Amino acid sequence: MKTVTLPTAHHTGWRSLPRNVWVVTATSFLTDVSTEMIVNLVPIFLADVLKTSTGVIGLIEGVAETTASLLKIFSGGLSDRLGRRKWLAVAGYGLSTLAKPFLYLASSWIAVLGVRFADRVGKGLRTAPRDALVADSASAGQRGLAFGLHRAGDTAGAALGLIVAALVIWLTQQTSGQMLSRQTLQTVVLISIIPATLAVIVLALGARDVPARDRGSTPRLSLAGLDSRFKLFLASVILFTLGNSSDAFLILRAKERGLSLLGVMGVLIAFNLVYALVSGPAGSLSDRVGRRRLIVAGWLVYSMIYLGFALASAAWQIVALFVTYGAYYGLSEGAARAFVADLVSSDQRGTAYGVFNAAQGMAALPASLIAGVLWQGIGSWPGLGPQAPFFFGASLALLAVALLIWHLPGLKREG
Q: Helices 291-311 and 388-406 meet at what angle, rounded to 10?
A: 160
* 7 in a structural domain: no
The neighbour count for residue 83, using CB atoms within 10 Å, is: 16
Query: Residues with Cβ < 8 Å from 138, sequence gap 6 or more?
Result: 17, 18, 21, 145, 146
CA distance 103 to 82: 34
CA distance 415 to 404: 11
Q: How far does the chain reach from its first CA to its final CA, in angstroms? A: 23
pLDDT score, position 197: 96
pLDDT score, position 169: 85
The neighbour count for residue 369, using CB atoms within 10 Å, is: 17
pLDDT score, position 341: 87
**Nearest-5° Cα angle at 159, 155 to 162:** 135
Q: Helices 261-289 and 143-176 meet at what angle, rounded to 10?
A: 170
* 257 in a structural domain: yes
Domain that holds residue 260: 19-211+223-406
pLDDT score, position 304: 95
* 6 in a structural domain: no
Eight-class DSSP state of 9: P
- HSE, side-chain direction, 13 A CA sphere, residue 191: 22
* 238 in a structural domain: yes
pLDDT single digits (tens) 121-148: 998 899 889 998 998 898 878 888 898 8
The neighbour count for residue 89, using CB atoms within 10 Å, is: 27
* 334 in a structural domain: yes
CA distances 363 to 64, 246, 304, Å, are: 12, 11, 21
pLDDT score, position 1: 42
Positions of the chain with pLDDT under 70: 1-13, 62, 65, 176-179, 211-225, 377-384, 407-415
pLDDT score, position 288: 85
* 411 in a structural domain: no
Closest CA to 140 of 326, 288, 310: 288
pLDDT single digits (tens) 338-383: 898 888 887 788 888 888 877 887 787 788 888 888 877 554 455 5
Q: To the nearest 10°, the Cα dihedral for 235, 240, 242, 244? A: -150
Burial class for 312, CB neighbours closer than 10 Å (0-12, 13-18, 19+): buried
Q: Helices 315-343 and 143-176 meet at what angle, rounded to 10?
A: 150
Query: Residues with Cβ < 8 Å from 183, sequence gap 6 or more?
Result: 172, 176
φ, ψ dihedrals at 52, nearest 5°: -90, 140
Q: What is the CATH classification number for the domain harbouring 361?
A: 1.20.1250.20
* Number of independent structural domains in the chain: 1
CB 30 within 8 A of CB 158: no
CA distance 157 to 63: 25
Task: Tell me the Cα Rg of the chain.
Answer: 20
Q: Helix, strand or coil for residue 226?
A: coil
pLDDT score, position 67: 75
Eight-class DSSP state of 213: T
Output the DSSP codes for 140-156: GGGHHHHHHHHHHHHHH
Q: Helix, strand or coil for residue 377?
A: strand
CB 23 within 8 A of CB 207: yes
pLDDT score, position 213: 52
pLDDT score, position 229: 84
Q: Helix, strand or coil for residue 13?
A: coil
pLDDT score, position 6: 45
* 8 in a structural domain: no
For 116-133, the three-class secondary structure string (H helix, E strand, C coil) is: HHHHHHHHHHHHHHHHHH
φ, ψ dihedrals at 106, nearest 5°: -70, 130
Eight-class DSSP state of 7: P
CA distance 235 to 212: 26
Burial class for 304, CB neighbours closer than 10 Å (0-12, 13-18, 19+): middle
* 14 in a structural domain: no
Query: Residues with Cβ < 8 Å from 96, sequence gap 6 or more?
Result: 31, 35, 118, 119, 122, 123, 126, 196
CB 32 within 8 A of CB 146: no
CA distance 233 to 94: 32
